[in-house]
Homo-oligomer: A and B are copies of this chain.
């Protein structure tokens, strides 16, 4: 099932508009070609089904074979997918297919770097809501392809009480009561609350019904101390200022989750291109 509006359709409408003038006037209508999408750097691949979907939306008769599936690690000059069909159809779809594939592979690649840098199987590297408007589901799947895990999908499937929410309700006062009321109406969903200091962590630990405490911008020593305060079922998430350099130290604190906005909001596109390998007559 697709989200609505479908990002593939949106992207094609935006790019094609009233028609692909270059293909229409400069490529013979019945010419058939084979092509491959090839990497020009090492990468973790993601978005292959979306890219394949672009080719097939433009022309259902185009045949796409995915060589490197989502999550695969490929080296520079290796092939990601092979495509065969009418030349016009491939050329019309090329840029949009690559736009998805390059961006999503960029996210998967950066996620994998953080997972590897954490050097610790127990901690989970998770994403945030800092995703590209309109592409959240695709980008969260790219995080999975990179070995990460997904935090909540949006405002609807989990509660995350942040500092601004607490300010707006005059701090922790009344938080316990609000949690009780939420548990009563929506018993199936998790509740996470942000803490900026160890004192706040101590206060939150007094309150029933919290599943996760978010430790925002704390140093490794503080994180360690916060975790030591916790009881059996409380989980801890660390966030803020994560880099490939400091993540190993954070991961070593024993924290359950490390959330990193950069894996979706600042990943660099992977260098991929489509090459024609066989041009019919």
Contacts and interface: CB of A to CB of B under 8 A. Distances in A.
Interface in A1-33: 1, 3-5, 7-23, 25-28, 31, 33
A195 interface: no
Given A17-B157, A190-B190, A262-B269, 9 more contacts: A17-B154, A18-B156, A21-B186, A31-B169, A91-B165, A91-B168, A96-B133, A102-B130, A261-B269
B165 A22 contact: yes
A176 B98 CA distance: 29
Contact of A28 (B150, B161, B169): B169
Contact residues on A (Cβ < 8 Å of other chain), bracket: 35 or more
A35 B162 CA distance: 15
Interface of A: 1, 3-5, 7-23, 25-28, 31, 33, 35, 58, 87-88, 91-92, 94-96, 98-100, 102-103, 106, 124, 126, 129-137, 144, 149-162, 164-165, 167-170, 175, 178, 181-182, 184-190, 192, 212, 233, 235, 256-257, 261-262, 265-266, 268-269, 274, 276, 279, 281
Please give the count of copies of this chain that the complex contains: 6
Contact of A102 (B92, B184, B265): B265
11 contacts: A10-B10, A14-B136, A17-B153, A21-B186, A26-B178, A87-B168, A150-B186, A167-B279, A187-B256, A188-B212, A190-B190
